[in-house]
Structure formats: C-alpha cells, structure tokens
C-alpha cells in the first residue's frame, strides 16, 4: 500500500505558484506582482528570497563563486 498525504495536492499547487511568481520576477515588477498575486510587497520579497535560496541550495552549479573584492589603490 502506498501512502499519499491528504494535503499533497495543496502543497504541490503552492510550490507551483511560488515557482511561477519567482519566474515572473525580474527585479522591477514587485508592485505589479504584488497586485497580481494579491500579496504584500514585503511578503513577495520574502517569498522570492526563500525560493531563490531553495533553488540555489538544490542546484550548486548555479551558485556564484565568492570572489575577494579588489582593493582600489588610493592616490
């Protein structure tokens, strides 16, 4: 017998919605996205940060190498 949780469909739909919002995000459209998805701007920023972190941790090849900042010589 295979056990499938009762709220599996709801969780799957929520994940798909979060990915759709993350894909629609371009950096300048936060107020438009907040109206479209009926979320606050702060809630939308938190969602984008959370989804981006999850994607980055699950796909290490997308992570940027940390580079030491160059020191600029003063004259």
Question: 8-67: per-residue pLDDT in tens?
Answer: 888 889 999 999 999 998 877 888 999 999 999 999 999 999 998 888 887 665 555 544
Q: How many residues does the chain have?
A: 75
Domain presence at residue 29 = yes
What is the number of domains present in the chain? 1
pLDDT exceeds cutoff 80 at 72: no
In this structure, what token pair is assigned to residue 55? 């994607």
Domain presence at residue 74 = no
Q: Binning pLDDT at 50, 70 and 90, where does residue 69 land?
A: very low
**CATH code at position 20:** 1.10.10
Q: The pTM is what? A: 0.66
pLDDT exceeds cutoff 60 at 74: no
C-alpha 29/C-alpha 50 separation (Å) is 18
Which are the contacts of 9, defined by CB distance < 8 A and separation ≥ 6? none
Domain presence at residue 68 = no
Domain presence at residue 54 = yes
* Helix/strand/coil for 9: helix
Which residue range forms the structural domain that includes residue 36? 15-59
């Amino acid at each position: 017998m295979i056990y499938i949780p009762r709220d599996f469909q709801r969780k799957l739909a929520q994940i798909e919605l979060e990915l759709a919002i993350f894909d629609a995000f371009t950096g300048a459209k936060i107020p438009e996205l907040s109206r479209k998805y009926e979320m606050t701007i702060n809630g939308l920023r938190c969602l984008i940060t959370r989804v981006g972190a999850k994607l980055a941790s699950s796909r290490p090849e997308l992570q940027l190498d940390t580079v030491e900042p160059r020191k600029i010589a003063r004259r």
